[in-house]
Amino acid sequence: MQLLEGALRTYAWGSRTAIAELCGRPVPSNHPEAEVWLGAHPADPARLLGGADPVSLLEAVDADPAGQLGDRARAEFGDRLPFLLKLLAAEEPLSLQAHPSAIQAKEGFQREEAAGIPLDSPVRNYRDDSHKPELVVALTRFEVLAGFRDPHRTIELLMALEVPALDHYIALLAGQPDSSGLRALFTTWITLPPPALEALLPQILEGCVRYLSGGPGSRAYTAELRTVLGLGESYPGDAGVLASLLLNRITLQPGEGLYVAAGNLHAYLHGLAVEVMANSDNVLRGGLTPKHVDVPELLRVLDFEPLTGPVLTPSAVPGAATVVYETPAPEFALTRVDLDRSGDRHPASVEFELAGPRILLCTSGSVTLRSGGKTLDLEQGGAAWIAASDPELVAVARTSTAQVFSAAVG
């Protein structure tokens, strides 16, 4: 059991306040802080603290895979930590993206290796041979585009814009209101020649303004069209703005989660969240970014089946400390622990039953961790690494209330 120092990633879409405030640092930060990586990913491993010098978690796992990972994790995933835990703070939208399946990732990685594309090349799509299912859980109100909307609702939205130039595309989807129709329309839009895109997009944005400026009455698509306007302002002439019209617009409240399976097109828009994923960095982008966009490769991995009911709301058992975010991913399992020092609403302590490897992240208050005869205080924004060889683990609230997320092998 050791304190874990995450690797801070600064991207333009990050926040100068969210992560700094959570970790108790001065705000605003010097740079937009987008992610804190808590794991053993080769691109940016976290560091173990407590010894004479910090040690990379990746190096610690490589030096003692049996003690750090345990037999169960090694049998299924080899000598590497199979998950990556993150803090994610989006002030601006992330790119429109999807992740490959396990088969697609292996094939794509081998193909780009054979082509001699360097791993650090900006045009590289597959930086490893793993898939990347992921789960995001909101710490604040968290805005997301995720998965294709039911085609019938999309037809209704497009008709509400009252843009004659859309009639052809509405007819295309109405003639086949299913995954095949969504594939046809998305492919048509994402590959529009620049002159056609430059002609169509302003008319759609004007339709959004008209809709949002209309008189009283039903405004079922207000959030969706405000998002389209915002994306159109940030990314003028980007086909990803058109694609956003086809996706579910979701608001996660604190504690709610969203599971993103392979092939689901998505973009995180705004907010602070905890994210856990398979230990991969494979991303196929389709727009809303200055980074490399590979539309043909994206089309190979996309799942066009409409996504319904994507929000995960874990059911808390009265008087229990732990809620579980159920997903089908074998690489990770995420639980949230709510502690109450008084014992009125939640228990003051909790024992983690399964052995490590495990990463704990304190998102509110502070706790004391006890493992064997060792104790460790974990402050808000702090993280700890629990090796498979560590004895039983107990977390005890140090403040009136505390919240801890636990990432382990699924």
Q: Where are the beta strands (DSSP E) in 253-345?
A: 257-260, 266-278, 284-287, 311-312, 322-325, 333-340
Distance CA 172, CA 155 (A): 10
Classify burial at 37, counting beta carbons within 10 Å of its beta carbon; exposed 0-12, middle 13-18, buried 19 or more.
buried
H helices within 46-88, ranges in order? 57-63, 65-77
Question: Each residue of 195-222: b (16+ CB within 10 Å) or e?
Answer: eebeebbeebbebbeebeeeeeeeeebe
Asked if 405 contacts 361 with a C-beta cutoff of 8 angstroms, the reply is yes
Q: Please state the φ and ψ torsions of residue 185, each to the nearest 5 degrees.
A: -70, -45
Report CA torsion sign: 166, 168, 170, 172.
Answer: negative
- Going by the DSSP 8-state scheme, the letter that residue 246 receives in this structure is G
Catalytic residue among 127, 149, 285, 358: 285
Q: Which of 116, 243, 229, 110 is nearest to 188 (CA)?
A: 243
Distance CA 341, CA 365 (A): 11
285 labelled catalytic: yes
CA atoms within 13 A on the CB side of 328: 3
H helices within 213-317, ranges in order? 222-234, 239-243, 295-301
Distance CA 96, CA 240 (A): 7
Q: Can you tell me which residue has the tokens 């039953």?
A: 353
Q: Which of 55, 147, 137, 57 is nearest to 96 (CA)?
A: 147
Asked if 168 contacts 155 with a C-beta cutoff of 8 angstroms, the reply is no
Q: Please state the φ and ψ torsions of residue 381, each to the nearest 5 degrees.
A: 90, -10
Q: Which of 266, 307, 303, 260 is nearest to 151 (CA)?
A: 307
Active site residues: 285
